[in-house]
Structure 1
Amino acid sequence: MPSVLTALLAVGGAAAVAIVFVEIVHRIIKRLGRRSTLAADMARKIHRPFLAAVTLVAVQQAIRVWAGEFPGRAGLVHVLVLLVIAAFAWLVGAILLVLEDMALAKWRTDVPDNLRRRRIKTQVVMLRRVTVAIIVVLAGGVMLMTFPDIRALGASVLASAGLISVVAALAAQSTLGNVFAGLQLAFSDAIRVDDVVVVEQEWGRIEEITLTYVVVQIWDDRRLILPTSYFTTKPFQNWTRTSSAVLGTAEIDVDWATPVEPLRSELQRICEQSDLWNGKVCVLQVTGATDGRIRLRALVSAADAAALWDLRCLVRESLVAWIWEHQKAALPRMRAEVEQADRSRPFVDGHHGPGPESEAARVFSGGADGDARGAVFGGPVPVASESKD
């Protein structure tokens, strides 16, 4: 009984000392957090894993030193070793996450010129996921190696590692392909978080990039989930890869009689009065003239895709309203010429109906060139079979 009581007191005292020590360190870091954002973040996120790790180490050492032999001692010590490994993995992971959060806070993306910041954010987020996976795998491996039977099987496991790796690679070919594609996307700058893309005929924003899939927030708040390998194997549009500024058009059809110069002046006035325009491109051009109409294309620019959409709609609406108010003659109209038919007049060369056909009306026959073309596209010429006697 005295030895058991001594062991319990030793374990309780060690745990109490560990808790007091952790609380003192926590208060010091918390006080430093008044002047340092890093210290404040560490005080919030590292307190619990640090407390668990230090307390478990103190209890384990107290049992090893003060507790004598008792039934289940080896099993209890082994469990404490496993808990210590898990607690330290938790602590290391929390520290790394704090450092990554500090990097994300330093490179914020809610600024006008955020191209480099979005690239760093994408890489840090991908590294965070890889870091957590590596820590979990290493901690699990170290915990398994504490079992004597598993250590004895190490040689046979290494001997069969080649065959197992081949089987695993074949079984998880698609998953591994997505994982490597995710790492490639993180460091190749093909896409970044907050990039504006057009994918699968949908316009949206890259909301999240993981090791296996990419989440695209579509303009109407739907979510398009695509495997990461999609962005390494199929073409897509990235509107903000080098700059967030983009160009867009607004097209309207008007009559041929429309004076274009007043419309150019009106477009310039519309752009200058709108805060959506970035002050770079404001051009009105005639891009088509068919069927009695001309097509006007207003080319404008904006700081980002969202502002561009609103600016295009504003330009189109304002030009239509201005034309209706000031140039109603410019509205599209249909022209037709009505002529009474005179059946007594011959159609062609004094004859009713079509006249003699000219060789100039043929492409694949008539003349040496036409016959040669016809032979190329006409296929083999059937040969008549000989009649029997």
Structure 2
Amino acid sequence: MEEELELLETQVEEITSGIEEFVPILPDWAMPVLVLALAFIVGLAIFRLVFGILNRMVAKRDLFWRSLVARTRRPLRLGLVVAALSIGVAVAPLSFEGRDLAQHGLLIAFMVLVAWALHTALHIWTTVHLRKFTLDAEDNFLARKHVTQSRILVRLAGWLIVILTVSAILMTFDGVRQWGVSLLAAGGAAGIVVGFAFQPVLKNLIAGIQLAVTQPIRIDDAVIVEGEWGWVEEITGTYVVIKVWDWRRLVVPLSYFIEQPFQNWTRDSSSLIGGVLLYLDHCADIKRLRTKTEEICRASKLWDGNVCHVQVNEFRERVMEVRILASARNAPRTYDLRCEIREEIITWIQREMPEALPRTRETVSVDGAGVAPQHGIGVVGR
């Protein structure tokens, strides 16, 4: 390899000498620029050739390989151009300082290239993996689990790649090398300063790792946070977006779900039990009410066939509290089922059992002889 480079350098010097004989007025920097420009053009030409070959090779293969080739087009182009420029720098008639500066720039470009390729491959793998799952299914528990883990871990891996790349680049500069080492090893005075400066970011970064492993929340979970009921719409590397029932968005830091209590209605499954409270008169016929409720549940397309109960929950002075429980496959269907049961049952009570509606009873004392009390009113004294 060294012999070939020496031969190539000799040929470039001969060509340079020939050009200088014909064009003696060229400045000293002209030939290095021409050599590097030629190397750049050669790198682009090789990229077109290689990319065309790769496209033909993966044309009949699965989605992962086709996506990998398509998404790595720019990193591949940068890599081949960097390789061509490396050869150009080696053979170009550069000064010692110019050669050192060019090699330093190519080293940084190579580090960026490696980070870019890793991030792209990770993104492609995640996309292909998540194609096996859909959040639109009624029973999407497994899909929510994989989507949540994948998205959080990809974002964390992206942050890790960026930190490692920035650290490696800083370590190539003598003046700030200690900063790169401190950022990478989290040690020394610079590491302490960086740690304090990025404390909120690191706090959410650690919380993201805990969320990915323990999964107290998942994408599309039904939760109550800060008194607001909604669904987990998005989980990023630093915050969680809750889509509230009225379409507002509640943005909560990741660390909140590790440090603060909250309600998760779909922690173990998508199915939920919804409750409907009725306040009826004490003479209400509970058996007829139970029969009608079961009839409403069986006729509803929202009911999942599991839970449908009617219970007298509590007695009060003037009314009794009756609770109806019914289950559905997910939170939106449960909410709609509760509304449907309310509408159907109150219409039926008004029509078929009006005596079950709450009433106020009073005892009237009639004082006077020969006065006949009205029907249904008892005489207490005269």
Is TM (by shorter chain) over 0.5? yes
Matched to 1:120, the amino acid is H
**Paired residue for 2:308, among 282, 289, 302?**
282
Indicate which of 163, 185, 188 corresponds to 1:137: 163
1:241 corresponds to which of 244, 267, 281: 267
Whether the aligned pair in 1 keeps the contact of 2:169 and 2:180 (CA below 8 Å) is: no
Paired amino acid for 2:108: L
Q: CA deviation at 1:77?
A: 3.5
Aligned residues: 339
Q: Which amino acid counterpart does residue 261 of structure 1 have in structure 2?
A: K
Cα distance in 1 for partners of 2:188, 2:104 equals 32
**Aligned CA distance change for structure 1 residues 55 and 165 (closer, same or farther; 3 Å):** closer
Listed as ranges, the gaps of 5+ residues in structure 1 are: 343-389
Whether 2:335 is the aligned partner of 1:309: answer yes
Q: Percent identity?
A: 34
Does 1:295 find its partner at 2:315?
no
Secondary structure (helix, strand or coil) at the match of 1:283 reads strand
**1:349 alignment partner in structure 2:** none
**Cα distance change, pair 203–130 in 1 and its aligned pair in 2 (3 A):** same
Match among 57, 61, 67 for residue 92 of structure 2: 67
Shift of 1:306: 0.8
Partner secondary structure for residue 93 of structure 2: coil
Residues 250 and 312 of structure 1 are in contact (CA less than 8 Å); yes or no, is this contact kept in structure 2?
yes
Contact residue 286 and residue 295 of structure 1 kept, 8 A: yes
For the 8 Å contact 1:14–1:62, the answer to whether it is kept is no
Paired residue type of 2:53: V
- 2:131 is paired with a residue of what secondary structure? helix
Partner residue in 1 for 2:222: 196
Q: Distance in 1 between matches of 2:326 and 2:351?
A: 23
Q: Is the 8 A contact 1:93 1:132 kept in 2?
A: yes
Range 332-341 or range 43-52, more displaced: 332-341
Q: Given the superposition, is the C-alpha separation of residues 175 and 23 from structure 1 closer, same or farther in structure 2, using an over 3 Å criterion?
A: closer
Cα distance per residue 1:93-131 (max 9 Å; x no partner): 211211121222233333233223322221211111122
The change in CA–CA distance for 1:158 and 1:265 in structure 2 (over 3 A counts) is: closer
The aligned residue for residue 290 of structure 2 is 264
Answer yes or no: is the 8 Å Cα contact 2:305–2:327 preserved in 1. yes
The CA distance in 2 between the partners of 1:86 and 1:155, in whole Å, is 18
Give the equivalent residue in structure 2 for 1:84: 110
- 1:23 corresponds to which residue? 51
1:74 deviates by: 3.5
Post-superposition shift, 1:319? 0.6
Contact preservation (8 Å) 2:228, 2:244: yes
The aligned residue for residue 210 of structure 2 is 184
- For residue 256 of structure 1, give the secondary structure of its aligned residue in structure 2: coil
2:353 is the alignment partner of 1:327:
yes
What's 1:124 paired with? 150
| Counterpart Cα distance in 2 of 1:266 and 1:117 | 37
Query: What is the distance in 2 between the residues matched to 1:195 and 1:185?
Result: 13
Q: Deviations over 1:285-325 (max 9, x none)?
A: 22223233222211111111111111011111101001111
- Cα gap change, 1:140 to 1:308, in 2 (>3 Å): same
Cα distance in 1, alignment partners of residues 184 and 141 from structure 2: 46
Q: Report deviation, 1:340.
A: 5.5
Q: Note the aligned Cα RMSD (angstroms).
A: 2.9
